[in-house]
Structure 1
């Protein structure tokens, strides 16, 4: 069976942690990679977001790995409008021959997709978990995300509601 790899950015990890769904990553993927710069961002935000303890706990499991990007020149050449974590996710994806890059930022997703990178966001991950039976209360979780500052357009919210109704 093929191992399915995902490389994660900071904000999706923070949002998944905020709704107690970090474990969804290990249910959906064989290998979960966190680039060093993403981990550094989590360390800086960890106290406020209460995520550092959870991430450190996950990194003790076999499926979770910190990743050091090898091609630092590629990272440096892409910095500018994108954050270092987003860039390291993209370069890590390519170096690891990963299956998904977990990114929420639209600019980062567009750049990644222009490079042939298969992206998924927090909502897509939750929807995938719903389809696979790991998430029962999808709309409630999305509402919790919104209350915690996650932005979603009314159009996307409506489409997800339609999908949930169709899949029930």
Structure 2
């Protein structure tokens, strides 16, 4: 069973090209951390890319919202990265996810240290 956890920017980018569905078509389980959901849905603009798509995917049970267990580690590392990035990396480790979908080099560099 192939699993993936994703950060915010990939959700937005896939939404912009109407390809968010590729995540649940390519993977058996798709996780999105709570901080990513919060970032995607915090805007008051319902037309923001990724917002309605991710909410629909959660409702349709195509995406699972993940609550990171080690919140203390997320908090301690906050100065290095944002909560969304940290929850994606730490969540990927906690879930033993096959893939962690992140777009920024600095975030990928930190993620490599968790391998």
Q: Same fold (TM over 0.5)?
A: yes
Deviations 1:61-84 (A, max 9, x none): 333101111111111121113110
Structure 1 outlier segments of 4+, above 6 Å: none
Compute the TM-score of the two structures, normalised by the length of structure 2.
0.92
Q: Which residue of 2 aligns with 1:25?
A: 23
Alpha-carbon separation, structure 1, partners of 2:3 and 2:77: 23
Deviations 1:3-32 (A, max 9, x none): 111111001100110000100101110000
Alpha-carbon separation, structure 2, partners of 1:72 and 1:44: 20
Q: Which residue of 2 aligns with 1:44?
A: 42
- In 2, are the aligned partners of 1:69 and 1:92 still within 8 Å (CA)? yes
Supply the RMSD in Å over aligned alpha carbons.
Answer: 1.4
Gaps of 5+ in 1: 117-168
* Aligned-pair CA distance for 1:46: 6.8
Alignment length, in residue pairs? 114
Compute the TM-score of the two structures, normalised by the length of structure 1.
0.64
Query: SS of the residue aligned with 1:49?
Result: coil
Q: Which residue of 2 aligns with 1:130?
A: none
Q: Which residue of 1 aligns with 2:58?
A: 59
Alpha-carbon separation, structure 1, partners of 2:17 and 2:95: 28
Q: Which residue of 2 aligns with 1:137?
A: none
CA change 1:55–1:25 in 2 (3 A) is same
Q: Which one scores higher on RCO, CA 8 angstroms, separation ≥ 6?
A: 2
Aligned pairs for 1:13-162 within 5 A: 13-45=11-43, 47=45, 49-116=48-115
Q: As a proportion of its length, which structure holds more helix?
A: 1
